[in-house]
Amino acid sequence: MNRQLEDKLRLLKIDLLNILHILAVSGSIALELNEISDSTSTSESELKGSISTLRRMKIDDETLIVPAGRDEDGRLRWKINEKIIKKSDLAKFLEEEILGKDSN
């Protein structure tokens, strides 16, 4: 894993890390705002600020999350930018190093 990414992840608040984890473990390519909201028990209005924070996080001029089309209500769908890190690698790192979840 990119050291710059690892350092930035270790400084994030737990709510942002949980959002990243939901995006990383999802079987879908991208998630709608309401899917992320339901998975994290975060209101959609609060989630918009969190998504904005994650969208501004850059590693080597690439953003950590990227928009991936729109849902039926015209809101953006989000996904992990796999130019930076594979979803599976991000999930494993978050579970083992930060969130402490057992991935088995």
Report the pLDDT value the prediction gives residue 8, as an integer from 0 to 100: 95
Question: Is residue 11 within 8 Å of 95, Cβ to Cβ?
Answer: no
pLDDT in tens, 9-63: 999 999 999 999 999 999 999 999 999 999 988 888 899 999 999 999 999 999 9
Which pLDDT tens digit goes with each residue over 73-98?
899 999 999 999 999 999 999 999 88
Distances (CA, A) of 36 to 4, 7, 12, 16, 104: 26, 24, 18, 11, 22
Q: From the CB of residue 100, how many other CB atoms can be counted at a distance below 10 Å?
A: 8
For residue 94, what are the CA distances in angstroms to 23, 59, 64, 66, 68?
12, 17, 14, 19, 22
Q: Say how far apart CA 72 and CA 34 lie, in whole Å.
A: 12
| CATH number attached to the domain at 3-98 | 1.10.10.10
Domain ranges for the chain, please list them. Answer: 3-98
Q: With 0.85 as the threshold, say if the pTM is over it.
A: yes
pLDDT band at 104 (very low <50, low <70, confident <90, very high): very low
